[in-house]
Chain A
Amino acid sequence: MSERIKEYPGTYVKEQAFADGSVLQTWWYPKADYAWDAGVAIGRFLAGLKEGKILGITCPQCHRVLVPPRMVCEHCFVPTGNWVELPGTGYVKTFSIVTVRWDMERLETPLIPAVIALDGAEALNATGGFMHLLGEIEPKPEVVRIGLRVEPVWLPPRKRTGAITDIQYFRPIKEG
């Protein structure tokens, strides 16, 4: 750094100092509750999930099948066209094996989030698909692989509410 700068400001405080009150503090507990509109595209997508279907929507210009569906193709900037029903199967595009929660507490059972690339939604420069969890598979990097063929496991129809969790998880497709 330039010769004039001798000492750098910034005072480190230990977590303990907050716990024992040697640093003054004040707390705020905001109430941040939301009701987010699903929107036209996702509204229909969720209705499809309730019926046990995974829907996509096509772009009339680049012909991609867009999942998650959207009313505008962001590559071509034109309104999207037709709704299509996808078979629901696909493959694992990438995944993680998670052992901590968002607040860094350890999880009892590891979770396996993955990006599922759906059959029928592949295109040259992008793959249609969404994030979900994998199940019925050992949470080990030697077992879960990119490229693994998977299929959705649905909640029974009467338990579905029109939510992403109407799919419980994706499981490996048994060969043969």
Chain B
Amino acid sequence: MSPTENLRFAHEAKAWPGAIPLQSRYTMGLAGERFFHALKDEARLLATYCPNCDYTYLPPRIYCERCFSELEEWVEVPNHGRVYAYTVVHCDLDEKPLAKPQIVALIEMDGCDSVFVHLLDGVDPDDVCIGMEVRAVFQSKARRTGEITDIAYFRPV
């Protein structure tokens, strides 16, 4: 007998609404504290280097994922990179159209092997291309809080 045959009345098919009361507070971690302080206090980008794998991590980590060594070599990253990939977003999470399309990109900074996500601005979406040279535009010092948004966006060089 299939379960729905047991349903006598439509009002018995009920959905119960509710929510899960959660907020998440994330620490930046040992590597993150150093990276985000450099970003916040000095508008500098730092990475860590694994000499074993010849791999530079941005954002930096305290260990190499590939060989598990502890990473103690911190390097300064010049403010210059390239678009590794990008997309143009037209709708928000609830699928309502955005007032202005948002360009989200994977950025590969000079000298770094890992790429990371950020936003592109100061450029028309039609003019963005993979390989396009970009630099970070930082928030003013007063507005920097030690989060990834201390970089306001990347713009073409």
Does a CB–CB distance below 8 Å link A and B in the complex?
A: yes
Q: Which residues of B lie under 8 Å from residue A32 when comparing CB positions? A: 19-20, 22
Contact bitstring A12-43, B, C-beta under 8 A = 1, else 0: 01000010000111111110111111101001
Contact bitstring A35-70, B, C-beta under 8 A = 1, else 0: 111101001101100000000000000000000000
Q: Evaluate contact between B18 and A36: CB separation under 8 angstroms.
A: yes
Q: Evaluate contact between A26 and B18: CB separation under 8 angstroms.
A: no
Q: Which residues of A lie under 8 Å from residue B17 when comparing CB positions? A: 33-36
Partner of B26, one of A28, A40, A43, A162: A28
Q: Evaluate contact between B1 and A43: CB separation under 8 angstroms.
A: no
**Main secondary structure on A side of the interface with B:** mixed
* B1-28 interface with A by 8 A CB criterion: 1, 3-4, 6-9, 11-20, 22-28
Residues of B within 8 A of A (CB-CB), count: 32
Residues of A within 8 A of B (CB-CB), count: 26
Q: Which residues of A lie under 8 Å from residue B28 when comparing CB positions? A: 24-26
Given A23-B27, A24-B28, A27-B26, list of 13 further CB < 8 A pairs? A13-B27, A18-B25, A26-B25, A26-B28, A28-B26, A30-B22, A34-B19, A35-B17, A36-B17, A36-B18, A43-B12, A44-B8, A46-B12
